[in-house]
A and B are shown apart, each in its own frame.
Chain A
Amino acid sequence: MRVLAALSGGVDSAVAAARAVDAGHDVVGVHMALSRTPAQERTGSRGCCSIEDAGDARRAADVLGIPYYVWDMSERFERTVVADFLAEYAAGRTPNPCVRCNEHVKFAALLDKALALGFDAVCTGHYARVVEHPDGRRELHRALDPDKDQSYVLAVMGPDRLARSLFPLGDAASKGAVRAEAAARGLSVAAKPDSYDICFVADGDTQGFLRERLGSQPGDVVDETGAVVGRHDGAYAYTVGQRRGLALGRPAADGRPRYVLAVEPVQRRVVVGPADRLAVAHVAADAAVWYADVPAAGTACAVQVRAHGAPVPARVLAAADDGVTVDVGDAGLRGVAAGQSLVLYDGTRVLGQATVRATVSPAQLAAPGRAGA
């Protein structure tokens, strides 16, 4: 196959490309330029966006003996990832920019351009497995190493794009094993630090970035009775479930820690309250993507709502082409915000993905008629 290997400049994508070369594919390396004004050097734990990263990607391609190109995806990235990130926070939701990047840039703009230029597939350094059945059906599964598994952020791509994707690191034993393999292959990125912060946010300071881009929008922090307990600079900087950084002047009457229960940007209001008010019983999500038939009501599964969150057992209440509602019972799922990505699993296999629209708490189930976040 003609394979386009996306090279971020990190160790994972370099080893993934090397494995694609070993597999006998005709591989071309492409580094996506995601910023019009890239920093000179990597800072902190941001990945892939500096000139140094582009240089590392180029060096990896040279070591592998494959051609290397830089494709300018900055406009697309700004429009579909950064702008979405800001709009979602401004609307009081909690976006996952990596999911959006996979949805609109890597497995959309990049993949489309690759296919149009005659490539058969795009290869990335994501940790996830693709299982192919004899009838050609493909399934997306968790990576062998649960610590590195990235199926959560990939699920959004859907089955058609999955059919054009290669994840050679899905069966890697661990990140350490991948680093060792990189070193053995003579790839100088073997010891490069991991990236985990949002790549377009300098210094990992998300709140500072939001403040800079969205401006100051001061308002009240109120408790669940509506009493004002503090002030904030912008409701967008808060996320449902957040405990730290609330800077509340008055302690709660009962002395228990308080968490963000709701973000209401129109009223410029942040609602806080005790942890038990964060509990979630039902999750409703839209813009569903399914890897097989739409699951029947009553289907048992596991759901995950954060990239590094643990899956919890769930049952499908209702599912359709474009949405799904799940019941997580008393599995202990807490602090789920609108905008988060909901991924449904059957064991290691991804059933589908959707974007959280609303949640229902156990208390609301007991007293019907009030909607949650």
Chain B
Amino acid sequence: MSDPRARAAYLDHASTTPMRPEALDALTAALAQVGNPSSLHTAGRTARRTVEEARERLAASLGARPSEVVWTAGGTEADNLAVKGLFWARRTADARRRRLLVSAVEHHAVLDPAFWMAEHAGAELVLLPVDADGAVEVEALREELEGHTDAAALVSVMWANNEVGTLQPVEEVVALAHRHGVPVHVDAVQAVGQVPVDLAASGADAVTVSAHKLGGPGSTGALLVRRGLDLTPVLHGGGQERGVRSGTLDAPLLASFAVAVEAAVAEREAFATRVGALRDELVRRVLDAVPGAVLRGPADPARRLPANAHLTFSGCEGDSLLYLLDAAGVEASTGSACQAGVPRPSHVLLAMGVGEDDARGALRFSLGRTSTAADVDAVLDVLPGAVERARAAGLSSVAVGA
């Protein structure tokens, strides 16, 4: 474990990934221009043109119409707008509809607004169970919808899970929910650029996308909202985005976002083939080299994100592994967010039925556009020793003397 950082292997692309050169170019070029897209003068018109071109490019890349794009300051805001805005709109139209159905493995950006709505806005929260692979139980959704006729306001199920990479049965969820007249929101933050994401083809009513997960700038995202769907605003102010999302639009960020999405979608197949093969190799070699390693999420590579590998190592604490890997120049993640800075077993793994002890020893390796075979080698150089050491640290006290 000598010579830390000489060759840092970055395997945390699902947290954020390097900006694409073309997105960086688009950003810096537009940053030099003055103009508020809402202004009527020439500078404003120029900025507006940048924003609207970006809207058209983003829409075209994701199977949406330009009018179906609502810009936001990132995925979390888009998720909040979807969960709160769609629930409120639906409930206002029909007071019986107060059940809010979200999968138990959603990102906190969906789960926490849902819990908030239950606590403050009269929502009846229903957490949809998942199977051992982390995929939503469609049967449970069917029973919920048939058992509570005309009571559901919204279903929110992510496209692909951010921790274990599981692709969700979006098509079945949409078909089922629509039979009961319930709109569906899909958080596709992790999916764009890795699997085909198309608003129209999916039938989903709202889809969340984020820029920085696919090589765009930070704090930039969008909610794609099917035409004609009522959405109650969450941010109030100057009335931008047809009154649904107030706030001055940032033309450079949006231009860069659109360029990044366009490139990610264009390169998707080649990316999935190349990075998927690297991921498969990583998983195979880790399972071979590390006793007690277990792959979490679907074993079938076609049922998970091509860039995601998620493993647990019994008897280890994830934070010990993170430290040992980082000290040796391998940057990964436990996959789950800290709560108040304190690492907690992942709600995703617990929902999948993984025991709390095993869930503590989780590592997510997420690959990206810049990943190479050398990164996989770096993991294998370090991980077996790190697991052994973390197990010693996790299991028992070590004698201090001598």
- Chain A residues with CB under 8 Å of chain B are 28, 31, 33, 36, 38, 51, 54-55, 58, 67, 69-72, 74, 108-109, 111-113, 115-118, 160-161, 163-164
Residue-wise, chain B 341-354 has the 8 Å CB interface mask toward A (1 for contact) of: 11110000000000
A123 to B: closest C-beta gap in Å: 15
B340–A72 CB distance below 8 A: no
B393–A113 CB distance below 8 A: yes
- Can you name 30 A-B residue pairings with CB atoms under 8 Å? A28-B327, A31-B341, A33-B340, A33-B341, A38-B341, A51-B340, A51-B341, A58-B341, A67-B326, A67-B327, A69-B323, A70-B338, A72-B342, A72-B343, A74-B342, A111-B400, A112-B393, A112-B397, A112-B398, A113-B393, A115-B398, A116-B393, A117-B320, A117-B390, A118-B324, A118-B389, A160-B400, A161-B400, A163-B401, A164-B400
A216 to B: closest C-beta gap in Å: 32
B389–A70 CB distance below 8 A: no
Complex CA–CA separation, A173 to B240 (angstroms): 60
Instruction: Please tell me which one of the listed residues A36, A51, A70, A111 contacts residue B319 in the complex, with CB atoms under 8 A apart.
Output: A70
Smallest CB-CB separation from B390: which chain A residue? A117
- B392 at the binding interface (Cβ < 8 Å): yes
B397–A108 CB distance below 8 A: yes
Smallest CB-CB separation from A33: which chain B residue? B342
Residue-wise, chain B 328-369 has the 8 Å CB interface mask toward A (1 for contact) of: 000000000010111110000000000000000000000000
Smallest CB-CB separation from A54: which chain B residue? B341
Given contacts A51-B341, A72-B342, 17 further A-B pairs with CB under 8 A are: A28-B327, A38-B340, A38-B342, A54-B340, A58-B341, A69-B319, A70-B343, A72-B319, A112-B393, A115-B398, A116-B393, A117-B320, A117-B323, A117-B390, A118-B389, A161-B400, A164-B400
Smallest CB-CB separation from A34: which chain B residue? B342
Question: What residues of chain A lie closer than 8 Å to B320, measured between beta carbons?
Answer: 113, 117
Complex CA–CA separation, A51 to B342 (angstroms): 10
A70–B342 CB distance below 8 A: yes
Complex CA–CA separation, A109 to B396 (angstroms): 9
Complex CA–CA separation, A348 to B12 (angstroms): 51
Complex CA–CA separation, A109 to B400 (angstroms): 11
Smallest CB-CB separation from B360: which chain A residue? A72
Question: What residues of chain B lie closer than 8 Å to A160, measured between beta carbons?
Answer: 400-401
Complex CA–CA separation, A325 to B397 (angstroms): 32
A36–B389 CB distance below 8 A: no
B342–A69 CB distance below 8 A: no
Complex CA–CA separation, A72 to B393 (angstroms): 14
Question: What residues of chain A lie closer than 8 Å to B324, measured between beta carbons?
Answer: 117-118
B340 to A: closest C-beta gap in Å: 5
A246 to B: closest C-beta gap in Å: 40
Residue-wise, chain B 363-402 has the 8 Å CB interface mask toward A (1 for contact) of: 0000000000000000000000000011011000110110
Question: What residues of chain B lie closer than 8 Å to A54, measured between beta carbons?
Answer: 340-341
A292 to B: closest C-beta gap in Å: 15
Question: What residues of chain A lie closer than 8 Å to B398, measured between beta carbons?
Answer: 112, 115-116
Complex CA–CA separation, A72 to B334 (angstroms): 14
Question: What residues of chain A lie closer than 8 Å to B1, measured between beta carbons?
Answer: 118
- B322 at the binding interface (Cβ < 8 Å): yes
B395 to A: closest C-beta gap in Å: 9
Question: What residues of chain B lie closer than 8 Å to A111, measured between beta carbons?
Answer: 400
Question: What residues of chain A lie closer than 8 Å to B342, measured between beta carbons?
Answer: 33, 36, 38, 70, 72, 74
Question: What residues of chain A lie closer than 8 Å to B340, measured between beta carbons?
Answer: 33, 38, 51, 54
Smallest CB-CB separation from A115: which chain B residue? B398
Question: What residues of chain B lie closer than 8 Å to A161, measured between beta carbons?
Answer: 400
A117–B319 CB distance below 8 A: no
Complex CA–CA separation, A51 to B338 (angstroms): 12
Complex CA–CA separation, A74 to B320 (angstroms): 16
Complex CA–CA separation, A113 to B398 (angstroms): 8
Complex CA–CA separation, A51 to B326 (angstroms): 24
Complex CA–CA separation, A161 to B324 (angstroms): 23
Question: What residues of chain A lie closer than 8 Å to B397, measured between beta carbons?
Answer: 108-109, 112
Instruction: Please tell me which one of the listed residues B338, B343, B393 contacts residue A117 in the complex, with CB atoms under 8 A apart.
Output: B393
Question: What residues of chain A lie closer than 8 Å to B322, measured between beta carbons?
Answer: 69
Complex CA–CA separation, A36 to B342 (angstroms): 8
B319–A116 CB distance below 8 A: no
A116–B389 CB distance below 8 A: yes
Complex CA–CA separation, A54 to B390 (angstroms): 23
Question: What residues of chain A lie closer than 8 Å to B338, measured between beta carbons?
Answer: 70
Smallest CB-CB separation from A40: which chain B residue? B340
Given contacts A51-B340, A67-B326, contact A115 B389 (CB under 8 A): no
Among A38, A69, A161, A164: residue with most chain B CB under 10 A: A69
Among A28, A31, A70: residue with most chain B CB under 10 A: A70
Complex CA–CA separation, A28 to B392 (angstroms): 19
Residue-wise, chain B 1-31 has the 8 Å CB interface mask toward A (1 for contact) of: 1000000000000000000000000000000
Given contacts A54-B340, A70-B343, A74-B342, contact A116 B392 (CB under 8 A): yes
Smallest CB-CB separation from A164: which chain B residue? B400
A45 to B: closest C-beta gap in Å: 21
Complex CA–CA separation, A72 to B320 (angstroms): 11
In order of increasing CB-CB distance, the 8 nearest A-B pairs are A116-B393, A160-B401, A33-B342, A54-B341, A112-B397, A70-B341, A160-B400, A116-B398
Question: What residues of chain B lie closer than 8 Å to A55, measured between beta carbons?
Answer: 341
A107 to B: closest C-beta gap in Å: 9
Among B341, B389, B392: residue with most chain A CB under 10 A: B341
Question: What residues of chain A lie closer than 8 Å to B400, measured between beta carbons?
Answer: 111-112, 115, 160-161, 163-164
Question: What residues of chain B lie closer than 8 Å to A112, measured between beta carbons?
Answer: 393, 397-398, 400
Complex CA–CA separation, A151 to B98 (angstroms): 61
Question: What residues of chain B lie closer than 8 Å to A113, measured between beta carbons?
Answer: 320, 393
A71 to B: closest C-beta gap in Å: 6
Residue-wise, chain B 64-88 has the 8 Å CB interface mask toward A (1 for contact) of: 0000000000000000000000000
Complex CA–CA separation, A113 to B324 (angstroms): 12
Question: What residues of chain A lie closer than 8 Å to B343, measured between beta carbons?
Answer: 70, 72
B344 to A: closest C-beta gap in Å: 8
Question: What residues of chain B lie closer than 8 Å to A116, measured between beta carbons?
Answer: 389, 392-393, 398
Complex CA–CA separation, A36 to B397 (angstroms): 22
A117–B341 CB distance below 8 A: no
Question: What residues of chain B lie closer than 8 Å to A28, measured between beta carbons?
Answer: 323, 327
Complex CA–CA separation, A185 to B322 (angstroms): 29
Complex CA–CA separation, A38 to B393 (angstroms): 25
Given contacts A118-B389, A160-B400, contact A67 B323 (CB under 8 A): yes
Complex CA–CA separation, A31 to B397 (angstroms): 19
Question: What residues of chain B lie closer than 8 Å to A163, measured between beta carbons?
Answer: 400-401
Question: What residues of chain A lie closer than 8 Å to B327, measured between beta carbons?
Answer: 28, 67
Complex CA–CA separation, A347 to B392 (angstroms): 40
A35 to B: closest C-beta gap in Å: 9
A298 to B: closest C-beta gap in Å: 30
Smallest CB-CB separation from A160: which chain B residue? B401
Smallest CB-CB separation from A28: which chain B residue? B323
Complex CA–CA separation, A116 to B386 (angstroms): 11
